[in-house]
Amino acid sequence: MITDELTRSLNAFTTFTRGDWSQLSDDATSLLSKEERKQLEGIYETISDSEVREIYVPLSELLYRLMTHNARLHDDMNYFLKKERKQAPFIIGIAGSVSVGKSTTARLIQALASRWPNGPKVSLVTTDGFLYPNEELEQRGLMKRKGFPESYDIQRLLSFLTDLKAGAPRVEAPVYSHLTYNVENGERQIIEEADVVIVEGINVLQVNRKGKRIPHVFVSDFFDYSIYVDADEETILSWYIERFKLLRSTAFQKPESYFYRYRHLNDREAVEMATSIWRSINGVNLEKNIRPTRLRADMILTKGDHHRVEQIQLRK
């Protein structure tokens, strides 16, 4: 049942069908080759030429216009203040469920933004690196709540974003390994002189942590634009199951993989295990912590079958 509050929130968005959205740009120069699309694809997710042409090229043009508008405003403020302040990076936040394809969306935006006329330097950071290491999660009794708000070092993430927006010439972010399912000890992603930074993660639009005092500053406060990637939960679950099955013969086969113990599961066992993990962890997190944030985004991309974006909603 849709509440009056939800109806009012949805009315704050302008909705575009895929067809209407695709008419907003005809910039063929931004299209990606088949080889480029292949490199950007996620596990069990292909990127078609039509998806780039009809969805991501118009999206890229919108983001470019927003970035150049910010640059003009920055110049105007410098003129008014009679100061030569360095411009901070244009930060794009991308949120959404596990397995919804937000990482692929982030990589596509990074590839297209790198082709903008001003030739910006574009960096992509995932918030997985800001999870507490597994050892600390074990000590806190949070391993079965990994990905929930309390499993992240939010203060470290906020410090990272503060340094970015302060124009620090060199900023470091921790690195996460999906193979070992843990933060890489001593590994750092170095971001230097970036013009655009894409921050992708399930938690980037959340505003508090369970059992904690609500902070005065939120991660999303640092974003110049935010995107939520959405889909029906049962559809996302089907993508999660197919990805889990595929990983049995790839990443799970490596002894260093956290999921090495699942490498010999047959199809029925794999479906049961993936469904159990989803119902007890990822689905609960989606319902309680992730999906409620979608109305805080500036844009909602809603997917249908085969990761095909069917609807775009823009905040008015």
Q: Are strands 225-230 and 299-303 parallel, antiparallel or unpaired?
A: parallel
* CATH (residue range 87-301): 3.40.50.300
Q: What is the mean pLDDT of each run of 10 residues along the chain (316 residues)?
A: 61 94 86 92 88 96 96 95 93 98 97 94 97 96 95 96 93 96 94 96 82 71 97 97 93 93 95 96 96 96 95 96
What is the distance of C-alpha 307 from the center of its chain?
15
Q: What is the DSSP code (8-state) at residue 152?
A: B
List phi, psi (to 5°) of 77: -65, -40
Residue 108 three-state SS? helix
Q: What is the pLDDT of residues 238-284, one digit of tens each?
A: 999 999 999 998 999 999 999 999 999 999 999 999 999 999 999 99
Q: What angle do CA 65, 70, 76 make, to 5 degrees?
A: 125
Q: Given this model, what pLDDT does residue 43 score?
A: 79
Q: Given this model, what pLDDT does residue 223 score?
A: 98
Q: Given this model, what pLDDT does residue 27 score?
A: 81
List phi, psi (to 5°) of 182: -155, 160
Which tokens is 190 given?
A: 């170095």
Return the domain boundaries, the chain. Answer: 87-301
Q: Given this model, what pLDDT does residue 28 score?
A: 75
* Rounded Cα distance, 193 and 122, in Å: 9
Q: Given this model, what pLDDT does residue 1 score?
A: 46
* Rounded Cα distance, 159 and 217, in Å: 11
